[in-house]
Structure 1
């Protein structure tokens, strides 16, 4: 099973590449925001717990989010794997995700981060803001703040996956298809080198 953590600052092209990867590798897209909304809409126990916390202005704890991801793993047995969008954002979340994946006899294959210079991101997002209608795409100060938050959050998680030799940073500037080809090349390398027992391999790295 192929499980990818795809990171990239706002405007890096992560959404575009995610869709191409989903189609190419038969992956299920896992966005924590989408999961929260779906669980709440379905009225599940996890969804009700999350809604209660959110209504009180509290953050949804990691164990609830991990529970939702676990539910998605169980309900998508036909998937070729999963692509994690913007998650994990902390080392604690990455460790919890590793434990969950091990329970399902799989692991995270690799983390890929698309890198784009801040000035290019600002230009892209301001341009996108002309048609997206999103207020946060139309305010340069908010855009720079979002990029700073992303860089701060990603640094620690990148180090976590780098210790497992799973982190790869790619240049997010260039033709879409060229970037996609490069991403696929990295993924295919990991697939070819994947151990027969991925859960055990994760345990060995962390031991």
Structure 2
């Protein structure tokens, strides 16, 4: 597993992490791994983890660390992650970051870059209002202003403290997530070209 490029996208819900990860996925042969997508797939499949996770996610709370790290550990051993991967939505707490570091170290790899997409809360509420209006009947159950408010509280209390954790390791870069989508992508590409 040497030579893998491992990138973590940080930022509040709705900041564009998933969209940007998808844009970089093919260019750099990095598999986008969204823990939210992994969990939603488990919910759809009705697995034991999925049933347990559904009630937790619907409440805007976090799934237990050991479940998430174990799921990621298994996933990154798959052939489509051979050249590396982008983690979107994980870690969300300092203990998760520490557990992720330990799991990666046991596999003989390390994080290449941590990129924060910075967006103010008020802009995120504008974005979700627009997304719900555009999605109509196809909107996700957890895609609404009340859930966003809860998720932002969790982000600011539990996830934002990870930023200094990675900053002290020299891994953190910040990108203005309010820039036009293509400009954000160019900024991200510049960071990846350096690492």
After the TM superposition, which of the residue ranges 69-78 and 55-64 deviates more from structure 2?
A: 55-64
- Name 1:5's counterpart in structure 2: 8
> What secondary structure sits across from 1:64 in the alignment?
helix
> What secondary structure sits across from 2:92 in the alignment?
coil
Q: What is the RMSD of the two structures over their aligned residues, measured on CA atoms?
A: 2.8
Q: Deviations over 1:107-144 (max 9, x none)?
A: 111111111122221111101110222455443x4433
Alpha-carbon distance in structure 2 between the residues aligned to 1:21 and 1:117: 23
- Gaps spanning 5+ residues in structure 2: where? none
> What secondary structure sits across from 2:160 in the alignment?
helix
- Name 1:88's counterpart in structure 2: 91
Q: Name which one, 1 or 2, has greater alpha-carbon Rg.
A: 1
Change over 3 Å in CA distance of 1:54–1:116 after alignment to 2: closer
Whether the 8 Å contact between 1:10 and 1:147 is mirrored in structure 2 is yes
- Gaps spanning 5+ residues in structure 1: where? 191-207
Aligned positions, number = 185
* 1:157-196 matches, cutoff 5 A: 157-190=162-195
Alpha-carbon distance in structure 2 between the residues aligned to 1:9 and 1:61: 19
Change over 3 Å in CA distance of 1:35–1:165 after alignment to 2: same
> TM-score scaled to structure 2, two decimals?
0.80
Whether the 8 Å contact between 2:30 and 2:81 is mirrored in structure 1 is no
- Name 1:107's counterpart in structure 2: 110
- Name 2:78's counterpart in structure 1: 75
> TM-score scaled to structure 1, two decimals?
0.76
